[in-house]
Amino acid sequence: MGLLLKGMHCTTIRMEKIRFMEGERSYKLHGLGHLTNPFSNSVEDWQAEIWQDILKLHYGKITEIDIEEKYSTFYAISRLTITTPNVLKRFKELNQGKPWKEQIKPFNFFLVGFQVIEENDKPVKPLAPFTKDYQKIVHEPFVDYETGDAKEGSQYFKPLSRTILQYVEHLENKFDGEIGVLKRKHIQADGLVYIGKEANNIEDQPLDVTKSQVFINDEEIKQKLLALTPEEARKLGIKHRSTLKRMKDRVKRDSKINLDTKEVKKLSLSF
């Protein structure tokens, strides 16, 4: 008998048959929860089938080639809902110059594919109208939300087989151990970082999958800004004393700093 835990409670293998724990849903959507059902809607608990294959791969009952053959004709598709101003802002260029009825608006929802191709040094990010037949968008025209251009072709979408195999190779950083019932790691906090209430929203992830999120500690930037001399500021790209003084005065007066200004962006990259 063997045991495996990675995004699930407990799984056993007896008499060459893999079983989930009885009486409860022992596997979790961790790593798969952002995906839509790749199979027909008649397959409700589709994550269970993927987990079965992940475990079969682990125990040597199937190979990576088997995963490729089974899932390469399915694609990783996510649902996106415009729920925050931060997400809506991503579509500013796409909306520019269009009448209101043709713009992407708050609470609209779409289907998005994961970028696998770059054209003219820019990733192509498929965006398509919502449909319950999720895989259908792969074979129809879509809009590249990065440029607004209409495109078509399954080569622009990430195969589900690649997503599954990458997930299998992904280390579980929250636990100690590689096989068996893993133990939670013990951590000790040595400081606080202010990241804002919208940090790391899952809605943002399908729109920018090629970049990791960077959280800016505005409190730290404010303190370093107040301690900055004119000579140091010039080296960091702030040429004029008046600009530095204006920035310091605002922090002292309002205890605020505008992270979107050109000068502050220079400082945040340099500190």
pLDDT per residue as tens digits for the range 88-140:
887 888 888 889 888 888 888 899 999 889 998 889 999 999 998 999 999 99
Of 2-11, 126-135, 138-147, 251-260, minimum mean pLDDT range: 2-11
- Rounded-to-integer distance, Cα 187 and Cα 27, Å: 25
pTM of the model: 0.61
- What are the domain boundaries of the chain? 11-72+159-184, 77-156, 218-270
The sign one gets for the Cα dihedral 83, 84, 85, 91 is: negative
Task: Provide mean pLDDT across the span 147-174.
Answer: 88
User: For residues 183 and 177, is the Cβ–Cβ distance under 8 A?
Assistant: yes
Q: Which residues of 217-240 are buried (b: 16+ CB within 10 A; e: fewer)?
A: bbeebbebbeebeeeebeebebee
User: For residues 148 and 93, is the Cβ–Cβ distance under 8 A?
Assistant: yes
Q: What is the pLDDT of residues 5-37, one digit of tens each?
A: 444 444 555 446 677 666 555 566 666 788 899
Indicate the length of the chain as a whole number: 271
Task: Provide mean pLDDT across the span 175-179.
Answer: 77
